[in-house]
Amino acid sequence: MKTTIAVVNGPNLGRLGRREPGIYGHQSWEDIWQELVKSFPEIQLESFQSNHEGALIDYIEQLLDRAVSGLVLNPGALAHQSYALRDCLKAAGLPVVEVHLSNVHAREAFRATSLISPVVWGQIAGLGPLGYHLAIEALARHQGVSS
């Protein structure tokens, strides 16, 4: 059975490619996703996006009842404001890599603080879509799966 890794995007990330392309790039999520699926044939990847905090938490909670090995999460602005998401991840006991397409440390001051960083395994910021690839690679190695 293939290892499963979930890739989750939070608010406003459904509009990648059209949303501030100077910051978030010209690729749509569909394009990025196709590349990810092609790059990791040994891994069962699943993708979820929501603009709603509760829907994201519901989705993450149901991962815990299944044999999911890790989570790649771009929380969008919820990184900077959601204690509920932080509590969910802290309790999850799942290896999580937080990904930000942009370098959140080089932008507005409020983006430099992530409430979830202290409770995740690692964080990647500023590398664009490559961040998702590297996060999956890291989780796969963590699980001893070669990609």
Residues interacting with ligand DQA, by CB under 6 A? 12, 74, 76-77, 100-102, 104, 111
Structure tokens at 128: 């664009």
Question: Taking the C-alpha atoms of 137, 141, 145 and 147 in order, what is their torsion angle to the nearest 10 degrees?
Answer: 30
For residues 10 and 82, is the Cβ–Cβ distance under 8 A? no
Nearer to ligand DQA, 101 or 140 (CB): 101
Nearer to ligand DQA, 44 or 122 (CB): 122
Tell me the closest approach of the beta carbon of residue 121 to ligand DQA, in angstroms.
17
Nearer to ligand DQA, 100 or 133 (CB): 100
d(CA 116, CA 69): 19
The torsion angles phi and psi of 47, rounded to 5 degrees, stand at -120, 145
Tell me the closest approach of the beta carbon of residue 88 to ligand DQA, in angstroms.
17
For residues 92 and 24, is the Cβ–Cβ distance under 8 A? no
Active site residues: 24, 100
First and final CA of the chain: distance in angstroms? 14
Nearer to ligand DQA, 70 or 76 (CB): 76
Tell me the closest approach of the beta carbon of residue 18 to ligand DQA, in angstroms.
13
Distances (CA, A) of 78 to 12, 106, 138: 10, 18, 23
